[in-house]
Structure 1
Amino acid sequence: MPNTAEILVDTLIAWDVRVIFGLPGDGINGIMEALRTRQDKIRFVQVRHEESAAFMATAYAKWTGKLGVCLATSGPGGTHLLTGLYDAKLDQAPVLAITGMQFHDLIETFTQQDVDLTRVFNDVAIFNTQVTDAAHMENVAGLACRSALAGRGVSHLSIASDVQEQASAKRSPRNLPRHTPERWFEGDKRPDEAQLALAADILNTASKVAILAGRGALHAQAELERTAELLAAPVAKALLGKAVLPDDHPHVMGGIGILGSLTSQEIMEECEALLIVGSTFPYIEYYPKPGKARGVQIDRNAQRIGLRHPVEAGLVGDAAITLQLLNERLKPKQNRSFLDNAQQSLQRWRKMMAEAESRDDVPLKPQRVVKAFGDRMPANSILASDSGQNTELAARHIDIKAGQDFAVSGSLASMACGLPYAIAGGIAFPGRPVFAVVGDGGMAMQLGEFSTAVRYKIPLKLLVIKNNMLNQIAWEQMMFLGNPQFACELQPIDFALAAEAMGGIGYSVTRPEDVDGVLDAAFAAEGPVIIEAVVDAYET
């Protein structure tokens, strides 16, 4: 008879889980044994810190649309997962977290690692339970998977170490065996017809329509492109939606907000109607002022409709299906001057960006190296960034092309996410080249995880923007508050040498005339590579 841990792992396999990110520990020995004996069906990816396991599970869910799974031992192993799991919660990524516990009869006795992780996870998880025995696991393992996928959030199972190895126990008379299917059911998420008609009327009536697209539109690229063409609408992209349409698309005006373009702000200020597709971009001040533009929003989650901007027509449904139905009701705009003017503005913005990207100043300007890095990325690349000044550099100075993917910690905006995200991309899509732009502050937090990239032979090119400064925080202290920067300087780390120490390859570049040669060598190298770019600490 299978034990509790074996039932768990077999259920995950039945739910098409093919990889688990985690770190072994004595609180999960039973689960690790179940994974060892099923290596031909499910892969365990060993990380160097549980926070990275949660980030990788979240990123895996974002990259693939499938369930991400992470595993940690009892006590501190479980608490280390929390930051990555909050990333999943805030960005609506389906993730299952599995944690161990102390022996079941020593819970709440002040024993070693006596942390009630179900209580700790109450806020982050939409499904959260302690598994009592094997019969209970038969019921809740599949339910945890279903809940994470249905709610697009975090599920959590915590299992005492001795319970993991217990064989199927006598079940209660009402708990019939095999009464739950290990399958996922989902409807086609069609919007309300009356709201659809209202949305079409609003968009057809307005002469200047702008579109804001987010991660929820990633699977609706063709439909979104058609909508933009019918409405002659310029498109601004939220950061998580950077890969929705290529940056060189004639309707794309760049990102929105502090990381975006001036053109995107102009279209928000001038539009008469705003169509929001799969985004709840959090900075309300960058939307049209209330009362200025009529609002239409498409989102799978009714709770998100009208969250940032007054909405008259709320279309609760799948973005691709909803846009297809909406397009059937839209009339092609004859006056395309709003789009034409936006395109001219974008040309001026791009010229200004090009000037920053071509400067030969010393110290080296980060825009130059980031632009050169992005230009070398092949068409099927995966790109991750971290949180900080490096995010702005990736958002503004790397043009995403058709076929490329991008991800980052969005609403949580956590540092130390970039490297785990990149590794997860390499695990999810073997053979695709992987790239990341990170800062020296975030990189230092999970530096050891580069050895995970080496261990699993991830084809990673990692650009570290090294200014020995928490640059974005220093800038905010000075520009937002008018204070001198304080406590933002960082002790220098030789990241190129660290790469070599972990079995990878390291390069360093300090001067503009060396950028092309160093990047050419780094991109030609096999295996994980760190490119350390030593840049001007005061460049914003």
Structure 2
Amino acid sequence: MQEIVGESLARRLVDWGVDTVFGLPGDGINGLMEGFRRCQDRLRFVLVHHEEAAAFMATGYAKATGRIGVCVATSGPGAIHLLNGLYDAKLDHTPVLAITGMQETSVLGSRYQQEVHTELLYQDVASYNLMVTNPQQMPGVVDIAIRDALAKRTVAHLTFPNDIQVAPAAEDPYRHVSPGKPPMSRSSLSRPPVPAAQPDLARAAEVLNAGRKVAMLVGIGARDARDEVLAVAEALASPIVKTLSGKQVVPDDHPLTTGGLGLLGTRPSEELMEECDTLLMVGTSFPYAKYLPAPGQARTVQIDVDASQIGMRVPVEAPVNADARLALQQLRPLLRERTDRSFLSRYQAERDAWRSDMESLENPDRHPVAPQYLISCVDDAAADDAILTCDSGTIATWAARHWTIRGGREFYLSGNLATMAPGLPYAIAIQHANPGRQVIAFVGDGGFAMLMAEFLTAVRHELPIKVVINNNNSYGQILWEQIILGYPEYAVRHRQPEADFGAWARACGGYGAKVTESGALPDAIRAALAHPGPALIDCDVNPNEPPMPGKVRYDQAKHFTEAFLRGQPHKAATVATVVRDKINELRS
């Protein structure tokens, strides 16, 4: 059988170590699908129900494995649907290859049906972005696209007109030089770790050794440097603050960490940033500058493998362009062991008080069910190597504060894009990549409803994901954002009746349960986790539970009050919840 371009593409993906493609067929990619079919013994195609989910799956797969994620969509609307998931990959520095279809070259420019020029549409999202117009561009452009995505930790895109997809791969109207074979070892699929330059290390050590109140801020770029982060923090007597995406870097129960930073962070972490005189940033360019030390307050050292990320938020006195693990290993011998640990000890006490406050909110006696109690039940029952995926919204607050990183646990969400709906597709892709581990999607009713058909994908592919829905029958984060801005809520709550997503799970052939009472929750969670296949718990929670910032600012409190005075429609229920939460904190 003569090899076609679609098959040449599939074979080249296999040569690069790609074993899975997520996507949805269409007449704009029939030639590519035939290529995938011919290579199905080595390249698995995961059929989804929405192209956006395919892009999220490719992103989640890449985040969890460190390998390139691949998604495919047909021409026109299919390619457009990929974009949200691809921007998630781009903004979180995740290598993904997007493959799309295109109309035949003979009709391009004729306003043909579904003629969307995806190479123009993808100009902003894709670092490498090409429409293939000659069979002999294959497989060289695949090599370039994958290298670009891996080297830059971003999105690459190839689009194939229909006639090119099915053209003989050997067809050559011009003279071309065939590319060689790609690297085969797993280690060669990403850039090698970059050590730090000695002068940069010396300058970093000088700044850190001179500091009296040193704080560390670590992000997902330090995910493979846990031991090194802890060793440097111990030497500096430095509290460790974590970004949300970097939550898994250091265990939450470790004595050196004060938890997260930002709107979803902790009060001790925020106050620490307001007081420190020296800041060591590792593997993060934390985007929310208002939570970082004020200008002129702290001398800053920043370690990042991507030089373009250094100094983006605060002036950096000692930049170190290097791999986080290697740089910290090199830096540790240059640091003087700190004997004065009073700064660290004070914030350890503040952290203990904060944790006590958070535990008081995990109250099983509350009705409606407190969302903090829901995620605490998941936290208690989940395995020590469980992987939690999360949507954006109020659920990210509950996960950030009540999902405990311990042992080999991991945590993934849409970091910089903060889009709704990736939790379920992430879980599917990560479960596919980690068949022996417990993978849990903690999602809201809004995000789940957007891509709920993908639960059926999990059933059909026999992927035993667990889905826990924090169902407040509203777009909770938007509700509180309206109030904080000083407006009464508007158009953020769904009408009755509330959905029963447990029934949907059962209709798909999975395990499904609806929970409305706190007393039934622990057993329901344990039953779902013990189920051998896909399982879902839909829990109705208090819709008036505020995701309060770690430290409430004056302007936030002022706008909150003004919104209530202007006629907040759920004033009584919300005030009752806030007062009850404060009473619980004081009792703890």
TM-score by length of 2: 0.90
Superposed CA offset, 1:402-436 (max 9, x none): 21111100000000111011111101111111111
1:359 shift after superposition: 4.7
More displaced stretch, 226-235 vs 91-100: 226-235
Would you say the 8 A contact 2:465–2:535 is kept in 1? yes
Output the CA distance in 2 between the equivalents of 1:358 and 1:186: 47
Give the 3-state SS of the residue equivalent to 2:215 in structure 1: strand
Aligned to 2:513: 507
Aligned to 1:32: 33
Output the CA distance in 2 between the equivalents of 1:28 and 1:247: 46
1:179 shift after superposition: 4.6
1:171 shift after superposition: 5.2
Would you say the 8 A contact 2:5–2:35 is kept in 1? no
Counterpart code for 2:513: Y
Output the CA distance in 2 between the equivalents of 1:65 and 1:137: 25
Aligned to 2:71: 70
Correspondence 1:330 to 2:335: yes
Matches within 5 A, 1:206-225: 206-225=211-230
Output the CA distance in 1 between the equivalents of 2:248 and 2:193: 23
Superposed CA offset, 1:326-383 (max 9, x none): 1121111111111111111111001101110125121111111111111111012111
Output the CA distance in 2 between the equivalents of 1:410 and 1:139: 33
2:530 to 521, 524, 527: 524
Correspondence 1:440 to 2:445: yes
Question: Kindly, what percent of the aligned residue pairs are identical?
Answer: 46
Output the CA distance in 1 between the equivalents of 2:305 and 2:505: 42
Would you say the 8 A contact 1:61–1:93 is kept in 2? yes
Give the 3-state SS of the residue equivalent to 1:308 in structure 2: coil
Matches within 5 A, 1:3-402: 3-167=4-168, 168-170=170-172, 172-173=174-175, 175-179=176-180, 181-182=182-183, 184=188, 186-402=191-407
1:494 to 500, 514, 536: 500
Matches within 5 A, 1:465-480: 465-479=470-484
Would you say the 8 A contact 2:16–2:182 is kept in 1? no
Instruction: Say if 1:524 and 1:138 are closer, same or farther in 2 by CA, change over 3 A.
Output: closer
Superposed CA offset, 1:297-345 (max 9, x none): 0111111001112210111111111111111211111111111111111
1:245 shift after superposition: 1.0
Would you say the 8 A contact 1:221–1:244 is kept in 2? yes
Would you say the 8 A contact 2:4–2:166 is kept in 1? yes
More displaced stretch, 519-528 vs 17-26: 519-528
Counterpart code for 1:160: P
More displaced stretch, 80-89 vs 282-291: 282-291
1:404 to 409, 412, 415: 409
Give the 3-state SS of the residue equivalent to 2:139 in structure 1: helix
Would you say the 8 A contact 2:389–2:423 is kept in 1? yes
Output the CA distance in 2 between the equivalents of 1:66 and 1:328: 32
Counterpart code for 1:482: G
Aligned to 2:422: 417
1:194 shift after superposition: 1.7
Instruction: Say if 1:525 and 1:179 are closer, same or farther in 2 by CA, change over 3 A.
Output: closer
Output the CA distance in 1 between the equivalents of 2:173 and 2:432: 39
Output the CA distance in 2 between the equivalents of 1:186 and 1:50: 29
Superposed CA offset, 1:384-403 (max 9, x none): 00000000011101111121
What is the root-mean-square deviation in Å for CA atoms of aligned residues? 1.3
Output the CA distance in 2 between the equivalents of 1:312 and 1:122: 35
More displaced stretch, 158-167 vs 176-185: 176-185
1:26 shift after superposition: 1.0
Counterpart code for 1:107: L
Output the CA distance in 1 between the equivalents of 2:127 and 2:295: 33
Aligned to 2:545: 539
Output the CA distance in 1 between the equivalents of 2:464 and 2:191: 35
Would you say the 8 A contact 1:4–1:133 is kept in 2? no
Output the CA distance in 1 between the equivalents of 2:401 and 2:278: 26
Output the CA distance in 1 between the equivalents of 2:96 and 2:400: 26
Would you say the 8 A contact 1:441–1:490 is kept in 2? no
1:524 shift after superposition: 2.2
Would you say the 8 A contact 1:217–1:319 is kept in 2? yes
Correspondence 1:462 to 2:467: yes
How many equivalent pairs are there? 538
TM-score by length of 1: 0.98
User: Where does structure 1 lack aligned partners over 5 or more consecutive residues?
Assistant: none
Would you say the 8 A contact 1:434–1:458 is kept in 2? no
Output the CA distance in 2 between the equivalents of 1:375 and 1:314: 41
1:259 shift after superposition: 0.7
1:522 shift after superposition: 2.0
Give the 3-state SS of the residue equivalent to 1:462 in structure 2: strand
Aligned to 2:561: none
Aligned to 2:565: none
Output the CA distance in 2 between the equivalents of 1:454 and 1:180: 37
Counterpart code for 2:266: S
Output the CA distance in 1 between the equivalents of 2:51 and 2:156: 16
1:187 shift after superposition: 4.0
